[in-house]
Chain A
Amino acid sequence: MAKAALMDFDKALELFEPVLGFEVHVELNTKTKMFSSAPNYFGGEPNTNITPTCLGLPGSLPVVNGQAVRYSISLGLALGCSIAPSSRFARKNYFYPDLAKNYQISQFDEPIAFGGSVDVELPDGRMFTVPIERAHMEEDAGKLTHVGGSTGRIQGAEYSLVDYNRAGVPLVEIVTDIIYGAEKDAPELAKAYVATIRDIVVALGISDAKMERGNLRCDANISLRPRTAPGEPPAPLGTRTETKNVNSLRSVERAIRYEIQRQAAILADGGTITQETRHWHEDTGTTSAGRPKSDADDYRYFPEPDLLPVVPSPELIEELRAALPEPPAARRRRLKAEWGFTDLEFQDVQNAGLLVEVAETVAAGASPQAARKWWSGEISRLANAREAEASSLVSPSDVAALVALIDSGALNDRLARQVLEGVIDGEGTPQEVVDARGLAVVSDDGALIAAIDEALAAQPDVLAKIKDGKVQAAGAVIGAVMKAMKGQADAARVRELVLERASAE
């Protein structure tokens, strides 16, 4: 494949205005599928979590999962949407073996939620309002594995294998209106928008929202239009591409940046953009052409005759509205103020995805600064070394217990790091690790004083300096004492005692 020519990003922005649109698919974490009582569990042995309905076998009928409807309404409300007094399902007809029925049950002209907006915070703190056209319910498709050919891709495959475990998993597709005005922030906005959707569905507890597992998927539409002189009407919208398979927040940002640079190079060269899907390739950081996509794709939508309208009562809608969590942006502002973090400290925690962990650690009794220090510091370092998520290593309550042991003087930082490793290795709670490993700080002043007197006697020159008022010289003695105590002493207490003993000499 020839490498596409790219225009410098800033140059592209000088010549063109990027226009965006996103379709985000959210897999709901209900216990069962959208239209069948098969477990909503993707993974495990192929074709085990399926019923006749998942396969569209003759005689089987879909029945709507009430919980999925409630989750969808909650999500619609969190997106600031109106909830349709009556909505219905429709068949989207297409021939592709990822669904055995030759159609997907979706919603077409009557989505459950429409007309909302989401406030998205850009990295520099500015807010950008993303308009939401609609959110509708549908079912996920099965997973295909292409066999034969060298690449595992569709081209050149000899045959394909189909696992329908994912077929019928409840999805909500969130479709934005056309987004104008993102300008040079377009890549960052794309990332921040998807992150905000993720935060919303996590706060609602309606999706596992793990992009790497496909719980949250983003199709990014982008087009460029040439800038016109001030006072002139804007140019008509350019031809768009739809980049698929973007399965991390970082990829969303990179894919948008890449498409802006690629399209700008083509347009500036007098070429035209092909309306098509593009595939994002994480390894090369590029997109490649997929299938042509026409605005008039003919899916022969028609009302799903096997299902009845969804008519949520106003009482149900209000009940779900009352139960909505605080919007993510408002929550972040509140937490930052409550914790007294600097912008940098807060961004560190947020960018590391540790807001929930720090919040829960604070709720369990730790000071915000101590919670931040442990999560952003030692725990993140260990997570990195072990190639694991920080949140999977240790619970917020254990971190809070660790901080409490430090605050009480039972542990110093060095010992606390050892205790933390013990907790992560499954040796029990921090207190249990302290007991089992005998890691508590020596708080017996008698033992400390004996070690201090010995160290002072061994370093008479230091003693003389301390007596002269040069207290910083005490460091050498403190170091010797800490070594003698094998680190299991409170350095602050040792310092106090060293100064006390030195002046008493």
Chain B
Amino acid sequence: MSEITQEQVAHLANLARIALTPQEIESLTTELGSIVDNVAKVSEVAMADVPATSHPIPLQNVYRDDVPTTTLTTAEALAGAPDHDGSRFRVTAILGEEQ
């Protein structure tokens, strides 16, 4: 049985800025728990000689040449913005500060 707790789910929801009801936290705790349990089964099969991987395709060193290409116009960049001042995105007053 997994060790996912309701506190962990609430903490994650807070970090992800997702508002969850107590019922949702309860059901998600059960669901996340079974996901973790299922993933854990992989560890039973994977022996020490199988290295951890972060990508399903064995590729590496995919690089781009350092050559500039076309950019968006300011109008294009701002086209999807909820609010802007003509050249910059406008966002609501920010609490907190840069990381």
Chain A interfacial positions (CB closer than 8 Å to B): 30-32, 37-39, 45-52, 55, 57, 63-69, 86, 88, 92-98, 104, 141, 144-146, 148, 154, 157-164, 277, 290-291, 298-300, 303, 305, 307-312
Q: Which residues of B contact A37 (CB under 8 A)?
A: 64, 67-69
Task: Tell me, rounded to whole Å, the shortest Cβ–Cβ distance linking B60 to chain A.
Answer: 4
Residue of A68, A98, A145, A310 touching B61 (CB-CB under 8 A): A310
A160 touching B93 in the complex, CB below 8 Å, given contacts A38-B68, A64-B62 = yes
Residue of A49, A144, A312 touching B94 (CB-CB under 8 A): A144
A97→B97 CA distance, assembly (Å)? 10
A158 touching B64 in the complex, CB below 8 Å, given contacts A46-B88, A50-B71, A55-B77 = no
Asked if A65 and B64 make an inter-chain contact with CB atoms under 8 angstroms apart, the answer reads yes
Asked if A161 and B90 make an inter-chain contact with CB atoms under 8 angstroms apart, the answer reads yes
Asked if A308 and B77 make an inter-chain contact with CB atoms under 8 angstroms apart, the answer reads no
Asked if A38 and B71 make an inter-chain contact with CB atoms under 8 angstroms apart, the answer reads yes
Q: Which residue of A lies closest to B51 (CB)?
A: A86
Q: Which residues of B contact A55 (CB under 8 A)?
A: 72, 77
Q: Is B23 an interface residue (CB 8 A)?
A: no
Q: Is B66 an interface residue (CB 8 A)?
A: yes
Q: Which residues of A contact B55 (CB under 8 A)?
A: 303, 305, 308-309
Q: Is B87 an interface residue (CB 8 A)?
A: yes
Q: Which residues of B contact A30 (CB under 8 A)?
A: 66
Asked if B71 and A162 make an inter-chain contact with CB atoms under 8 angstroms apart, the answer reads no
A47 touching B80 in the complex, CB below 8 Å, given contacts A37-B64, A97-B94 = no
Extra pairs beyond A96-B97, A164-B89, A290-B97 (10, CB < 8 Å) = A37-B64, A47-B74, A48-B73, A50-B71, A97-B91, A104-B99, A161-B88, A161-B90, A298-B11, A312-B61
Asked if B90 and A98 make an inter-chain contact with CB atoms under 8 angstroms apart, the answer reads no
A303→B95 CA distance, assembly (Å)? 28
Q: Which residue of A lies closest to B57 (CB)?
A: A308
| A to B CB contacts below 8 Å, 9 in the list | A32-B67, A48-B74, A51-B71, A57-B80, A97-B94, A159-B91, A290-B97, A298-B11, A309-B54
Within 8 A of A (CB), among B43-99: 54-55, 59-69, 71-74, 77-78, 80, 85, 87-99
Q: Which residues of B contact A163 (CB under 8 A)?
A: 87-88
Q: Which residues of A contact B85 (CB under 8 A)?
A: 161
Q: Which residues of B contact A299 (CB under 8 A)?
A: 99
Q: Which residues of B contact A303 (CB under 8 A)?
A: 54-55
